[in-house]
Each structure stands twice: as C-alpha cells, then as structure tokens.
Chain A
Amino acid sequence: MEAVVERAYGRNKIHPQKFALWVACGGILMMFAAFTSAIIVRQAAGNWLEFRLPDIFYYNTIVILLSSISLHSSYLAFRRGNTSLYRGMLALTFVLGAAFIALQYQGWQKLTAIGIELTTNPSGSFIYVISGVHAAHILGGLGALSLALLHAYLLPHKVTPARKLRFELTLTYWHFVDFLWLYLLFFFTMLY
C-alpha cells in the first residue's frame, strides 16, 4: 500500500508519512516542554531539595549520541550498498540504545542511593518521571530498530523506495529522541 500512496501523491516534495512523523515529534516535544516548564513553576514555589545529578546521566549522553552516529552511518551504508557496514552499524545502534536504558536504570539507583527516592521531594520525583517517560520513548525506538534489524538480516540488501522510507522514518525518530535527551539534560543541568 505504501508504494501506492507514494505514486498517488508523487507531486509532494516531502512524503506524507515523513511529514506526519515530524508533526508527531512536535506533539511529543510539547509533552516534554510541559514537564520542563512544570519544573520551573514548581521550583519557584519553594521547598525544593537541591542535589547534584549523578554523573552517570552524563556518560549516558555520550552513549546516546554515539548511537545516533552509528545509525546514521548504517543508513548511509544501506544507501551505498555496503551490506556488512549497514548490518553491523544497525546492530551496534541497538546495543547502544539498550545500554542507554540499562545505564538510566543505574542512574535511578544512584539517585536512590544518595537518598533521593521517588517520593522524597518533587525535585527528585521530576527526574524519575521525566527520564522515565523519555526512556519509554527510547523503548519505542528500540522496537523500530528491532524491525529494522529483522529486515536487514532476513531480506536481501535492496534499496527499494519503501525500505528507504522505512529506514528514514526510524532514523528521524531516533535522532529526535536523542535530541530530546539533550534538551532534558540541558534543563536538568541548569536547574539542579
């Protein structure tokens, strides 16, 4: 059906599905914008426990940035026809994404260890909830990546419009959740 849609609306500069994904990302961004504004509003109201964000959240930023780079190089390799790089980099991205989740979990445990539990004070609760919701979006990305891995390893390497589109959708989303983390980290660093 995808191919049909593409032909039917071939006059468009940007594919409707890609555009729809951008629009959806706008909605997700608003959700996090609400969270970060909530921190600001709530912090201004006082009774705000100060603490230092555990370093692990910074290490994790490197992990997620690397995963964006690896996914992008996988995409380029896919288009160039370099099968082994395409598959390898895709697998690496998946591993890095999973590692990000694992390290976030470590980060939450670190927080608990320094006495900031989920219910201690809203300042800590925000970190748990917001990074948790972000992690849920990463999990969604991992789902898309698993599908991409299946395609990469089970199908012969052919650059059809449908597969290219699917890859580009995954790529856009993954870059987006990566950017989202940078945005959140910026707030966490500024406010904590």
Chain B
Amino acid sequence: MANTAIKPVVTEEDLLIEEYGYDDHFHEHHHGDKYQSNFITTYIFSQDHKIIAKQFLITGMFWALIGALMSLVFRLQLGFPEENLAWLRPVLGKWITINDAGMGTLAPEFYYALVTMHGTILVFFVLTAGLSGTFSNLLIPLQVGARDMASPFLNMLSYWFFFLAGVIMFLSLFLSTGPFAGGWTAYPPLSALPQASSGSGAGMTMWILSLVFFVVSVLLGGINYITTVLNLRTKGMSMWRLPLTIWAFFVTAILGLLSFPVLVSGFLLLMFDRSLGTSFYLSEIFIGGQALDHVGGSPILYQHLFWFLGHPEVYIIILPAMGLVSEVLSVHSRKPIFGYRAMVYSILAIGFLSFIVWAHHMFMSGVNPFISNFFVVFTLIIAVPSAVKVFNWIATLYGGNIRFNAASLFAIGFVSMFISGGLTGIFLGNSAIDIQLHDTYFVVAHFHIVMGVAAFFGMFAGIYNWFPKMYGRFMNETLGKLHFWGTLIGAYAVFWPMHYLGMAGVPRRYYRFDSFEAFGQFSAMNQFITIAAIVTFAFQMIFVVNFFYSIWKGKKMTVRNPWGANTLEWTTPIHPGHGNWPGKLPAVQRWAYDYGKDGKEFIPQIKPMDEGETEAH
C-alpha cells in the first residue's frame, strides 16, 4: 500500500482515525494505481479531485490575467483618449489604427470586443470555473470525508470541457473579424444577426459554442458536487455538521444545475435565429437600410431567459466566496462562526430568492411596471439574508483573538466590499431610481465591488488559507499582506469614483466621453481610475509571483494542521495521496466550529465528545 508508506509518522490524528474511523476497505483494491500510474494520468487527465482543483485554479489564473490585461487596454482608451497607442500595435495588430501623423488609436469595434470578452471571461471562466471549480473540487471530498468525488471520471470531463470552452474562446480572439462584441449578456439583435457588427459573425458563433461547452462543464461538475455532498459524507457527518464552505458549494451547485440549462435553451433559440431563419428574438429589423424578413420575435424573451440564469449566476459567483470567508474568519479569529444555523438558512434563502428577482435587470427594457413591483420587492428582500450574513461575520470577528494574516485580511476585506456593493444594490433594486442609474457607471461600480472584487477577495482568502493543503508549502506572508493592502486600496480607488460618474448619468459601454459636452468634465476622474487600475494590476503581479514561487520554494509545511483548524482536510497527511486518508476514513464527532470551547483553543471534528459535553449549536 503505497499511501501508508509515504507517511510513517503517527500523529494524534492518525490514532483518532484509527480508533473511531470508518473502514471502507478502500486501500485493499489498488485501483488507485490503476488510474494514476504515469505522468499523464496523474497530472493531465487526472481523476483525482485535488489535481483537478489545481487545474481549475491555474487555468482560472491564466484567464484572470488575460481578462485584466484587456481591461487595462480599454481603460487606457477611456482615461487617455488622445494618447498615442501605437506601441500596442505589436500585440493588437490591426485593431490599432495608425493615421498619417503616426497616431495610434484603438479601433472602436475592438473596444467593444474587449469589454465583451472581459465580462465573459471574468464572470464565467474566472469567477465561476476558477473559484467554484477550484474550491468545490478541493474541499468537498476533503471536508465531508470522502475518498474522491462520486464520479471522478465525470469530474475530469468537467475540467476538460472547461478547457475546451477556453480554447474556443481564446481562438476567437484571433479572428480577422474579431471576437464577439455585443456585451457579455449577448442580447439580440447584435448576437442574433451575423451581419449586425463585425464580431456578430464568426466571433459570436465561437462565443456561443464556447459557452455551451462551458455549461456542460458546470453541469458535470455540479452533478458531482451535489451527489458527493449528499451521498458520500463520512460517518457522523450530518448535514448540520458540515462546514459552511460545503453548504455554500452545495447550494451553488444546485443554483447552477437549475439555471444553466435555461441559458442553454435560450442559446439554442438564438442559434436557430442566427442560422435557420426563425424569429424567436427578431422582429421588424432594418439593417443597412434593408428590411429583414424576421417578424414576430421578441428580444425581451431572450432577456428573460438570459437573466433567469444571469441573476442566479451572480450568486453562483458570490456564494462560494461567502463560504470560504466564513471558514477563514472563524479559524483565524479563533471563534466559532456566529449564528451557524442562521448562516445556513441565509444561504438557502439567498439561493431561493435568486430565482425570482431576474427582472431587476430589465426594469428599463419595457417590462410592465406593475410586474416590476414584484421584482422590486423580492430584490429588496434579498438584502435581509445578506445582512444576516454580514452581521454574523462581524459578530464572529468581534472579541476574537484575530490572527491578521493574508488569508484573514482578505476575508475581512471581503466583508467590507460586500457591504459597499450590497448597499448600492438597494439603490438599483428600486425600479424608479433605476430609471436614472440603469446602464450607467453606477451599475458598473455596483457589480464590480459586490461581485467582482468581493469574489476575488474570497478567492484570495481561500488560496492563502488552503495553499498549504494544495502544495504542502506556505505562501509568503509579507508579500501576501502587501498584495492585500494594494488590492484593497486600489480596488476602492478604481470603483468608488464610478458611483459619481453613474449618478451624473455617464453611460457604460461608451467608447469615449471627451466628445460629449456633459461628460467631458470627468476626464480627470477617468484618468485617475485608469492609473489606479494599472497600479492595482501591478499588485496582482505580486500575487502571481508569490504563488508560483511558493509552489516550489515556499516555506515547507511541517505539521498537518498549521492553522489549528477543526475541519477534516487538516487530518490528512501533508501530501495526501489518492483516496485522501491512508487508512480508515475519519469519523466525525462534532460540528466544525468548536473554537475556544471549554478552555481549549480548538477541538477537531474527529475528537469524540467528552463525558457530559453537549454539542455547541
């Protein structure tokens, strides 16, 4: 048995697992060797959830860099519309047009393509696959006490469908007509008529193909996560003993399973409109002075189908971050999470409500104002479970013996961001106020702070915290703190001013503002935002260097449970092999948050209850 040979040191964890654990005869079958015998099956077409998690993470980082660089290019355009961009020509080629005086300008079509790709990449590839894909894969089997996912094979397929989606999207960047340029929401008619803009042809075809593969990936992953959480929990791991991370991943997977298929339906109708002449979304359209023979379609129908996914999708992004933050805050403030059950119920409430608020993205699309009222009410009700969570995070920190390290700082930063961005959500949720704010920079500020930055903070908290579990080494703390402060200040500097732009009516997705009388006054503010974005990007480079340096050169982990955490993943060997635990599966005796109980700093979940001890919640 190869796995036990790696770990000769016997620790208290081993003894507890040996005494109380559950013997599933896993290592008697040697099937681990069957599918992890050479380099390819171990690192590339791996079926081990821990490797798949790293694949999702590193692919996500790749996309985050691409997406962020795109944003820098269009920020340069917005901040410095008169500046010479000829130096970008080696990278962007013909999308930088050079006039007789040698002035290089960004082609307007490509500006739209960049904005569209930035949104698509960040929302789907980075904050869905890179976040939920990474941590659901890493933590679900480890924290519920399972050998692996319910179907390791489908799990592997999930990653490779994501990879395929990425390859297609990446190739579309190099089309001579450019990638899709109609916004990440792909509203018709720009998405439905190949002749509508240069990116609407081949670019859109590849965009839609890529996203369909992406949905397949999400569904394969989600089916696995749900099945694993419900069926493969180890002995003693009742639902009420699950760490909040698992609750969050579980509800996230359910949201994905119920909403992404709806997007596929919407896309399918779109494909018929594009290629086979149907008119689901198209009606009475003139293009280039010519009337098309599409009649009877409704572009609003697409918006309904899109946002029925789109809104749950924003919670698919934020819930995993919330789960990670809850865990990190509790561990590093050495206190039980405040209001565990309330946390679970708010996750469930947010999950449920997220399905009945989608039309708040359509207040200005001509939906019946009477119907809007219902959506206003449900939207504002979401603020209640969100506020419960914020209250509980702060109460968890309150009076705690907080360890201020990179992980916990990012978790605290998450709470700050979520409050700032959640408050502006309440403005937008009122359909009357939205008349002024819709499609302005106020919306851009809102969703970047509450979703973009907050989810990144949750992800960073997770990476700094679980890096030792992934690679057996620590990331550098000093660089981590520098990264945190740079990102916190930088992100606020980028997005805070956008609220003012939005309130003044500056519309989003415009190529330049200096030519508008009303918006020209904001050129200094736009320059400030662009510079802040560049600086913030530079701070992300610190993270990237720290990450890769630490994989090979970071401080080695010498004990299994460096943070003194209660959850099961820290009872595995420092380098867990296939099947995660070398011998029996650990049995769970208590919930995950016994910190500071009965004078003990922490009590791992595998420790049996003492005589007369009662469960804490």
Contact = CB atoms under 8 A, between A and B. Distances in A.
Asked if chains A and B come from one complex, the reply is yes
A41 to B, nearest CB: 5
Contacts of B521: none
A31 B264 contact: yes
A38 interface: yes
B359 to A, nearest CB: 11
Contacts of B295: 47
B279 A119 contact: yes
Interface residues of A, number: 39
B232 A9 contact: yes
A26 B26 CA distance: 31
Nearest to B298: A45
A17 B224 CA distance: 9
B426 interface: no
A7 B228 CA distance: 16
A23 interface: yes
Contacts of A16: 150-151, 227-228, 231-232
B149 to A, nearest CB: 9
Interface string A8-42: 11111010110110011011101111110110011
Interface stretch (B265-273, B411-419, B564-572): B265-273
Interface stretch (A57-65, A82-90, A121-129, A178-186): A121-129
B318 interface: no
B301 A23 contact: no
Interface stretch (B87-95, B254-262, B543-551): B254-262
B226 A129 contact: no
Interface string B221-251: 0111011101110010000000000000000
A192 B313 CA distance: 33
A119 B277 contact: yes
B84 to A, nearest CB: 49
A112 B228 CA distance: 47
Contact of A14 (B231, B257, B262, B264): B231
B265 A31 contact: yes
A150 B303 CA distance: 46
Interface string B469-487: 0000000000000000000
Contact of A17 (B31, B151, B230, B259): B151
A37 B307 CA distance: 14
B287 interface: no
A34 B305 contact: yes
Contacts of B29: 4
Nearest to A14: B231
A129 B223 contact: no
B308 interface: yes
A133 interface: yes
A8 B296 contact: no
B280 interface: yes
B278 interface: yes
Among B24, B222, B269, max chain A CB count under 10 A is at B269
A126 B154 CA distance: 32
Contacts of A42: 280, 298, 301
B276 interface: yes
Contacts of B305: 34, 38
B257 A34 contact: no
B272 A24 contact: no
B305 to A, nearest CB: 6
Nearest to B149: A16
Contacts of A35: 265
A135 B261 CA distance: 17
A1 interface: yes
Contacts of A7: 24-25
A57 B296 CA distance: 25
A118 interface: yes
Given A9-B232, A38-B269, A129-B269, A20 B280 contact: no
Contacts of B147: 8
Contact of A129 (B26, B272, B279): B272
Given A121-B296, A125-B280, A28 B261 contact: yes
B300 interface: yes
A47 B298 CA distance: 10
A43 B227 CA distance: 38
A8 B24 contact: yes
A24 B52 CA distance: 21
B556 interface: no
Interface of A: 1, 4, 7-12, 14, 16-17, 19-20, 23-24, 26-28, 30-35, 37-38, 41-42, 45, 47-48, 118-119, 121-122, 125-126, 129, 133
21 contacts: A4-B29, A4-B31, A9-B231, A17-B150, A19-B230, A19-B231, A27-B261, A30-B259, A31-B261, A38-B304, A41-B301, A41-B304, A42-B298, A47-B283, A118-B276, A118-B277, A119-B279, A122-B278, A122-B297, A125-B280, A129-B278
Given A9-B231, A27-B260, A125-B272, 19 more contacts: A4-B29, A8-B26, A12-B231, A19-B227, A23-B226, A30-B259, A30-B262, A31-B261, A31-B262, A31-B264, A31-B265, A34-B261, A34-B262, A118-B276, A119-B279, A122-B297, A125-B278, A125-B280, A129-B278
The 3 closest A-B pairs by CB, nearest first: A31-B261, A34-B265, A34-B262
